Amino acid sequence: MIRCHTLSWGAPGQPLTAPLTIALDSGSLTAIIGANGCGKSSLLKVIAGLQKPLSGKVALGVPRQGGLSFLPQQQHLDRQFPISLQELVAAGFWGRRLSTQLRAQRLANALDHWHLSGLEKRPLMALSGGELQRALLARLSLADAPLLLLDEPHAALDELGQQLLWQHIHAWHAEGRTVLMVCHDLAAVRQHIPQTLLIKDRECAFGASADLIQQIPHTQVA
């Protein structure tokens, strides 16, 4: 599903790590972990086609348009943009041909599943961080893409939001979707995600999550 061959990324002339070669199978569930600034989010953007690599190649087993969904960090969103929560979530239907009735039903289900019912008309600027994050995740769930790239999906979520997130991640994985996510909660990675790409000291290591997390100082484990 995802093949990176001698991939380098970062600022021109300043690669963040040694060249990365990795293959992630279709239907896999994988975390990317590492310290702030090591290149996790940038790698996700390169895989999504939102940022050009410095060198090397990325090959996906799905088309970049419609075949993947990308969840950005909240800080990259314009919360002054004049749309409602419902309109933000409904953007997950982009490019899909569905009847008006089916769209309305699926939208209502997504809002209910992510505990957003009653907030449909609220503008983005009036949402809490957790509400906005759940809205972004609800939008992602409507896209039905086989490849999901998630940049810190747990950010701003309270305990209930975290539970909903992991329920959906496991459901997506059980459906055979490929999930690759940046995550700082190492305890959650160890509990929920079987394999991990660790970026440390400008080097990349890939393997079982529990084994790689042991290489990180205990004080960094959330």
The CATH number assigned to the domain holding 189 equals: 3.40.50.300
**Distance set, CA 81 to CA 88, 90, 123 (Å):** 10, 15, 8
Mean pLDDT (whole number) for 170-179: 96
Q: How confident is the model at residue 162 (pLDDT cuts 50, 70, 90)?
A: very high
In a domain, 105, yes or no: no
In a domain, 203, yes or no: yes
In a domain, 208, yes or no: yes
In a domain, 19, yes or no: yes
Tokens describing residue 168 = 């959906």
At residue 222, the pLDDT reads 41
In a domain, 166, yes or no: yes
Contact (Cβ atoms closer than 8 angstroms) between residue 40 and residue 204:
no
At residue 221, the pLDDT reads 41
How many beta carbons lie within 10 A of that of residue 94, not counting itself? 10
Asked if pLDDT for residue 219 goes beyond 80, the answer is no
At residue 218, the pLDDT reads 53
Tally of structural domains, the chain: 1
In a domain, 25, yes or no: yes
Mean pLDDT (whole number) for 38-44: 96
At residue 96, the pLDDT reads 83
Give the E-state strand segments of 61-142 in sequence order: 68-71
Amino acid at residue number 164: L
Mean pLDDT (whole number) for 59-85: 89
Full domain range(s) for residue 199: 2-67+145-220
- What values do phi and psi take at 125, rounded to 5? -65, -15
In a domain, 138, yes or no: no
In a domain, 134, yes or no: no
